[in-house]
């Protein structure tokens, strides 16, 4: 596709439910990032993939958060046993290069997760 695609656009979950958020990066992009954006705040880094390898997961807030990118393209962010504090917009971004500090990131529109 032309850009980074995320689905679903909105997700409402009951507390304790598991959720899975999908990201389709731009074709051919090597690097993929997940960010969490709380209301009124800037995005915060969660995890980074280079192809299928998860090189950095230092931003994942707990072991309830798990991300994968098994074939180096589509990525899934899974949150188990959701809590109210997980409510946020989850952003996916991709870039062509392998972890250069000045490389442009292309962001999706995000998935807005509301945990009731």
Partner 1 sequence: GNSVTQMEGPVTLSEEAFLTINCTYTATGYPSLFWYVQYPGEGLQLLLKATKADDKGSNKGFEATYRKETTSFHLEKGSVQVSDSAVYFCALGTYGNKLVFGAGTILRVKS
Counting Cα atoms < 13 Å in the Cβ hemisphere of 48 gives 15
75 binds partner 1 (CB under 8 A): no
52 binds partner 1 (CB under 8 A): no
At a CB cut-off of 8 Å and minimum separation 6, what does 32 contact? Answer: 23, 25, 48, 49, 69, 75, 92, 93, 94
The candidate with the shortest Cα–Cα distance to 46, out of 34, 32, 54, is: 34
Separation of alpha carbons 81 and 94, rounded Å:
27
12 binds partner 1 (CB under 8 A): no
30 binds partner 1 (CB under 8 A): no
Shortest Cβ 21–partner 1 spacing (Å): 15
Report in angstroms the alpha-carbon separations of 56 from 11, 40, 93: 26, 25, 14
Answer for which of 21, 67, 91, 113 binds partner 1 (CB under 8 A) is 91
Answer for which of 48, 79, 86, 115 binds partner 1 (CB under 8 A) is 48
110 binds partner 1 (CB under 8 A): yes
55 binds partner 1 (CB under 8 A): yes
Enumerate binding residues for partner 1 (CB under 8 A): 3-4, 31, 33, 35, 40-45, 48, 55-56, 91, 93, 95, 97, 99-110
């Amino acid at each position: 596709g032309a850009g980074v695609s995320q689905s679903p656009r909105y997700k409402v979950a009951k507390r304790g439910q598991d959720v899975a958020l999908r990201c389709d990066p731009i074709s051919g992009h090597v690097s993929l990032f997940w960010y969490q954006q709380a209301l009124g705040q800037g995005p915060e880094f969660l995890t980074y993939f280079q192809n299928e390898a998860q090189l950095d997961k230092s931003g994942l807030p707990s072991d309830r958060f798990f991300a994968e990118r098994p074939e180096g393209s589509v990525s899934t962010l899974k949150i188990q046993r959701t809590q109210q504090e997980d409510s946020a917009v989850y952003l996916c971004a991709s870039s062509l290069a392998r972890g250069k500090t000045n490389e442009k990131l292309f962001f999706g529109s995000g998935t807005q997760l509301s945990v009731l």
